[in-house]
A and B are shown apart, each in its own frame.
Chain A
Amino acid sequence: AQTVTQSQPEMSVQEAETVTLSCTYDTSESDYYLFWYKQPPSRQMILVIRQEAYKQQNATENRFSVNFQKAAKSFSLKISDSQLGDAAMYFCAYRSGDTLAGSYQLTFGKGTKLSVIP
């Protein structure tokens, strides 16, 4: 079974600074997807960014980018120019690339709580 590890339960960053959240995963598969989800306080979880394992180029979405190291099984999230609205729980997640029906569930890490200091 795949496992996802987020080693930083909590982190903080000054507004306008850059922060990196760590995620490692364990899998024997070569085809898979990785995700970062954001859960603001008392609000629903939303997708921040995703990465397909077959793509070498790191994904980028505005101020959010990832550092995907397939050999090291590492998938970190970098938030640039941090804003107060970035304060949230961040979850790293893994999904198998197996396209058989019923294989679309995600495995989540335990989360990192990010605080943004004004």
Chain B
Amino acid sequence: DVKVTQSSRYLVKRTGEKVFLECVQDMDHENMFWYRQDPGLGLRLIYFSYDVKMKEKGDIPEGYSVSREKKERFSLILESASTNQTSMYLCASSLEREYGELFFGEGSRLTVL
């Protein structure tokens, strides 16, 4: 089975801190994604990557950056966390070919105080 692992299920950070959310997948998927999930807003795409060192902005990239140094790992970075970044963050991966089914991690719930 495909496994997408997010390093932290729950994090509490302070305003202004730098935050790293790590995601690793074990199925050699080309594509990786970071979504943000908020009640009543659904899932919104922050960034995605279709190859190592390649990244593309999604719908809400402001305040975030990403890093993909290795194919299996995709990191989301909050350079200076703010309270409006309190949310659930979901990582997902997919194959380049076929219909692109997304495989999700369990999510990282970030609280910024």
Contacts and interface: CB of A to CB of B under 8 A. Distances in A.
B58 interface: yes
Interface of A: 6, 9, 33, 35, 37, 43-47, 50, 52, 91, 93, 95, 101-102, 104-111
Given A43-B106, A44-B106, A44-B107, A104 B100 contact: yes
A108 B96 contact: no
B46 to A, nearest CB: 11
Interface stretch (B17-25, B37-45, B68-76, B77-85): B37-45
Contact of A104 (B44, B50, B104, B107): B50
B4 to A, nearest CB: 8
B50 A102 contact: yes
Contact of B42 (A50, A52, A101, A108): A108
B41 A110 contact: yes
A91 B92 CA distance: 15
B50 A110 contact: no
8 contacts: A46-B104, A50-B101, A91-B42, A102-B48, A104-B31, A104-B94, A105-B45, A109-B42
B101 A47 contact: yes
B107 A101 contact: no
A105 B48 contact: yes
Contacts of A110: 40-42
B29 to A, nearest CB: 10
Residue from B35, B51, B56, B100 whose CB has the most chain A CB atoms within 10 Å: B100
